[in-house]
Amino acid sequence: MRVWGAVQYVNEEGGPEVESDFVTRTALVTGGASGIGAAMARQFVAAGGRCVIGDVQDERGRALARELGPGCRYEHLDVTDEDDMRAAIDRTVDAFGALDCFFGNAGIVGALGPIERTPAPAWDRTVSVLLRSAFLGVKHAVPVMRSQGSGAIVCTASVASLRGGLGPHAYTAAKHGVWGLVRSVAAEIGAYGLRINCVAPGGTVSALSASLVSGDGDDLDAAYRRLAAASSSGRPTTADDVASAALFLAGPGAARINGACLAVDGGDDLVAHKARGYFEADGSER
């Protein structure tokens, strides 16, 4: 059994020892070439772990792996293809000897529009990328982790997993499915010493939100401005915010957390700000 716990290591510059939960640990991050997935990969490697980035964005993925150094590698991965998913997990184990964390993060916005004009092929593709991919990743990660006697899975859900009206129809349905999958699998794999949870980002500065805001997935500044203006705090959720929550759920500090969904939205989407007027009242009764 691989035992979790914070350990000490000396950084590559020969500096002082740093405490980390992920030294010698290995993760596979799907959708890891950009956005939230790239932030997960960066934070995991910075914490001493080794990471495989799985994505179809080959140029971005290879560039990120080079940036992160020998503890990271890139694998082309179509998350909707079962053979691809199985092979990516096998190659992760071959490269680094284990699969301690699986971050199922690949995503798209998918089909848009009113329900009566939503094309069935667009619906199917959205559900495939968002929900089928999570199923395939969990399906093939669990037996590897079970043989190790430990492991943590974190899927990227959404605030749209928790209520309606926060995303397109297909996206909302698929993300509800991810949250349902996490709860169902948690009921099975806890007996194996494994855990599965999900993070539920709200409006997050990423390529997806930039594409919706400006039509340019690289225009993160436009996404930041739009989301900041809509935030009660004046600051939007960033990819690093979501990645930090995911790493917490994957680490030993969350050892007793299984089957949970952690919203990362600053309270902007799931808290009813329409009630603010009640809080600003003078204390009188009506």
Distance CA 213, CA 192 (A): 43
Do residues 104 and 30 make contact, with C-beta atoms less than 8 angstroms apart? yes
Which amino acid is located at 71 in the chain? Answer: G
- State the pLDDT at residue 3: 42
Which of 144, 258, 138 has the alpha carbon at shortest distance from 190? Answer: 258
Report the C-alpha gap between 160 and 179 in whole angstroms: 10
Candidates 158, 161, 206, 209; catalytic one:
158
User: Is position 175 annotated as part of the catalytic site?
Assistant: yes
pLDDT score, position 242: 94
- Marked catalytic residue, from 74, 150, 161, 171: 171
51 within 8 A of 41, measured Cβ to Cβ: yes
Walk along the chain (286 residues) in steps of 10 and give the mean pLDDT of each run: 43 47 90 94 95 97 97 97 98 96 94 92 96 98 97 95 88 96 98 96 72 67 69 80 95 95 84 53 49
Number of structural domains in the chain: 1
DSSP β-bridge partners for residue 19: 8
Q: What are phi and psi of 104, to 5 degrees?
A: -90, 95
**13 within domain boundaries:** no
* CA 30/CA 103 separation, integer angstroms: 6
- Return the sign of the alpha-carbon dihedral for residues 239, 176, 154, 216: negative
96 within a domain of the structure (yes/no): yes
Q: Does pTM top 0.95 for this prediction?
A: no
Query: Do you know the residue count of the chain?
Result: 286
Tokens 């150094």 correspond to 69
Q: Is residue 231 part of a domain?
A: no
| CATH number of domain containing 85 | 3.40.50.720
| pLDDT computed for residue 134 by the predictor | 98
Our separate counts of H helices and E strands in the chain read: 10, 11
User: What is the predicted pLDDT for the residue at 27?
Assistant: 98
Structure tokens at 131: 């929900």
Q: For strand 72-76 and strand 101-104, is the pairing parallel, antiparallel, or unpaired? A: unpaired
Q: State both tokens at 43.
A: 């934070």
234 in a structural domain: no
pLDDT of residue 217: 66
Clarify whether 150 is annotated catalytic.
no
Max CA pair span of the chain: 67
Domain for residue 136, yes or no? yes
Q: Residue 166: its pLDDT value, please?
A: 80
Q: Has residue 73 been placed in a domain?
A: yes
Structure tokens belonging to residue 74: 């890139």
- Calpha distance 225→267 (Å, rounded): 18
The SS3 call for residue 128 is: helix
Strand 7-10 vs strand 17-20: parallel, antiparallel, or unpaired? antiparallel
For residue 278, tell me if it sits in a domain. no
Range of the domain at 179: 21-203+242-262
Catalytic entry in 20, 150, 161, 175: 175
Instruction: Measure the N-to-C terminal CA separation of the chain; round to a whole number of Å.
Output: 61
Is residue 8, in this structure, part of any structural domain at all?
A: no
Respond yes or no: is residue 34 known to be catalytic: no
Give me the pLDDT at residue 129, please.
97
The candidate with the shortest Cα–Cα distance to 161, out of 92, 257, 264, 65, is: 264
